[in-house]
């Protein structure tokens, strides 16, 4: 028990690491690797993880999402094949290996090695080890979120359904979730492709958060632009407004100095498996072909206006609880 406490304490300050030491039921944890080849013809999401249901049934998995073909595969593994490292973010899962810097895959329809370089991790701050801010220390949250890297370069290739695909020169993004279940409603969006040469990333998550018998709308947003991460979050005091429009959803985040406006336009997607009380029995529709129209202002001056391609987008659950 003491050994598990020490491992989980280390992970608390390093969100990328595994957080489930000693947890045997009502628990899930998964990492999300998004890769886009340099020609932007292939967009893949690879999601390894562990599921521990209410009855103690456990299995590991790798979920593969082909965002262009709108197809997904859910591959089950024995829980004993899930072997996270205790001192760093590294995971052995069968013959597969995952870390922030490298992924090696040996799956029936996907084999090869991808290396991630020039990572942009979410910065750590005093009292805020990751994107969750001080909520990282709240022990009863339904779901926790982490960002492994906002933007990075890719090297390597994959054998994917009978063809060789080079990802060298492509762009990647990585995040993770852990806890009991996904929220009852959420909006999630992410893109790295805005037509500029410099590293740029937008990720935004809005969700209905259970809290002490009630709930509130919480949000965490990061906009990496010109080498600076601009954050908007419930815990930073930022405000949010959201509305439906004919073609999509408009979300605005703002504080005293900055304003970030996003118009998310859905596109074709597919259903991915999601957690409910630790079991992977839910479904969420995700697109990797959505479009994000973005406008960023600071001190009343427009600093950026652009459109994000190859965007991940999820609009899930009772969205009326999030959108006024």
The pLDDT value given to residue 98: 98
What are the structural domain ranges in the chain? 2-321
The pLDDT value given to residue 83: 98
The pLDDT value given to residue 89: 98
| 115 has pLDDT over 90 | yes
The pLDDT value given to residue 179: 97
| 146 has pLDDT over 80 | yes
> 181-197: per-residue pLDDT in tens?
999 999 999 999 999 98
The pLDDT value given to residue 126: 83
Position of tokens 């990802």?
Answer: 167
At 237, is the pLDDT very low, low, confident or very high (cuts 50, 70, 90)?
A: very high
User: Average pLDDT over the chain, rounded to whole?
Assistant: 96
Above pLDDT 90, what percent of the chain? 94
| 278 has pLDDT over 90 | yes
| 270 has pLDDT over 80 | yes
- The span from the CA of 313 to the CA of 316, in Å, is 10
Q: Which residues contact 155 (CB under 8 A, 6 or more apart)?
A: 114, 115, 117, 167, 168, 169
Q: Quickly count: other Cβ atoms within 10 Å of residue 295's Cβ.
A: 15
| 272 has pLDDT over 90 | yes
The pLDDT value given to residue 71: 97
> 155-180: per-residue pLDDT in tens?
999 999 889 999 999 999 999 999 99
| 87 has pLDDT over 90 | yes
Above pLDDT 70, what percent of the chain? 100
CB contact at 8 A, 59 and 52: no
| 324 has pLDDT over 80 | no
The pLDDT value given to residue 1: 79
| 138 has pLDDT over 80 | yes
Exposure of 278 by Cβ count < 10 A (0-12 exposed, 13-18 middle, 19+ buried)? buried
The pLDDT value given to residue 246: 86
> 8-49: per-residue pLDDT in tens?
999 999 999 999 999 999 999 999 999 999 999 999 999 999
At 215, is the pLDDT very low, low, confident or very high (cuts 50, 70, 90)?
A: very high
**Taking the chain, what is the end-to-end CA distance rounded to the nearest angstrom?**
46
| 252 has pLDDT over 90 | yes
Mean pLDDT of 204-223: 94
Q: Which of 186, 203, 194 is nearest to 314 (CA)?
A: 186
Mean pLDDT of 230-246: 95
Q: Which residues contact 141 (CB under 8 A, 6 or more apart)?
A: 135, 179, 209
């Amino acid at each position: 028990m003491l050994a598990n406490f020490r491992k989980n304490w280390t992970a608390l300050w390093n969100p990328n690491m595994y957080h489930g030491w000693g947890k045997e039921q009502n628990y899930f944890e998964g990492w999300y690797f998004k890769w886009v080849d340099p020609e932007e013809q292939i967009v893949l999401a690879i999601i390894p993880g562990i599921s521990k249901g209410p009855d103690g049934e456990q299995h590991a998995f790798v979920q593969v999402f082909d965002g262009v073909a709108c197809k997904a595969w859910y591959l089950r593994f024995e829980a004993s094949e899930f072997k996270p490292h205790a001192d760093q973010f590294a995971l052995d899962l069968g013959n597969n290996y995952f870390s922030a810097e490298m992924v090696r895959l040996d799956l029936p329809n996907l084999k090869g090695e991808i290396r991630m370089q020039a990572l942009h991790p979410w910065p750590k701050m005093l009292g805020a080890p990751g994107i969750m801010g001080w909520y990282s220390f709240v022990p009863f949250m339904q779901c926790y979120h982490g960002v492994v890297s906002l933007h990075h370069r890719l090297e390597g290739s994959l054998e994917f359904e009978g063809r060789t695909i080079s990802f060298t020169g492509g762009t990647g993004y990585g995040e993770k979730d852990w806890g009991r279940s996904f929220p009852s409603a959420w909006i999630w969006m992410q893109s790295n492709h805005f037509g500029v040469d410099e590293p740029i990333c937008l990720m935004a998550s809005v969700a209905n958060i259970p809290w002490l018998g009630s709930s509130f709308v919480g949000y965490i947003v990061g906009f990496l632009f010109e080498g600076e991460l601009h954050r908007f979050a419930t815990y930073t005091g930022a405000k949010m407004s959201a509305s439906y429009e004919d073609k999509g959803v408009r979300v605005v985040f703002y504080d005293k100095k900055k304003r970030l406006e996003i118009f998310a336009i859905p596109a074709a997607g597919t259903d991915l498996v999601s957690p409910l009380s630790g079991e992977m029995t839910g479904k969420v529709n995700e697109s990797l072909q959505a479009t994000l129209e973005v406008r960023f202002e600071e001190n009343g001056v427009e600093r950026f206006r652009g459109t994000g391609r190859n965007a991940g987008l999820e609009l899930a659950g009772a969205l009326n609880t999030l959108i006024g």
